[in-house]
């Protein structure tokens, strides 16, 4: 799934939700959406989501970390902000793009030959 989602294509759409001069640097779109996908797939709480990511190098890769870390990638309270900043419209765009990408990379099945009786 990490390869199907065009993370960088949507980074600017996500970044529009942040003021440019104030606050700590925002987490990446990949980290935000990736964490929300993990939470929904595993049907777990915000706290448990962060804990699962902290313990699992595969989940850390999924959210865009390049190396394993035993430290939490973010505070569980940030998941509330991720949900607020990633609109349904943005999710829809990501889904549409994923479907396009799947269609581009999935080989088409061979056409079946029809054998019929001659009259």
pTM of the model: 0.81
Max CA separation in the chain (angstroms):
80
pLDDT digits (tens, 9 = 90+) for 37-72: 999 999 999 999 999 999 999 999 999 999 999 999
Residue 70, judged by CB atoms within 10 A of its CB (0-12, 13-18, 19+), counts as exposed
């Amino acid at each position: 799934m990490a390869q199907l989602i065009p993370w960088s294509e949507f980074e600017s759409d996500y970044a529009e939700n942040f003021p440019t001069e104030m606050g700590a640097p925002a987490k990446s779109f990949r980290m935000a959406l990736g964490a929300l996908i993990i939470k929904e797939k595993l049907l777990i709480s915000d706290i448990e989501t962060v804990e699962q990511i902290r313990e699992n190098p595969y989940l850390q890769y999924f959210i865009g970390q390049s190396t394993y870390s035993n430290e939490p990638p973010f505070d569980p309270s940030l998941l509330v902000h991720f949900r607020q900043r990633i609109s349904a419209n943005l999710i829809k765009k990501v889904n549409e793009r994923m479907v396009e990408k799947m269609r581009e990379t999935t080989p088409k099945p061979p056409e079946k030959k029809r054998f019929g009786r001659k009259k």
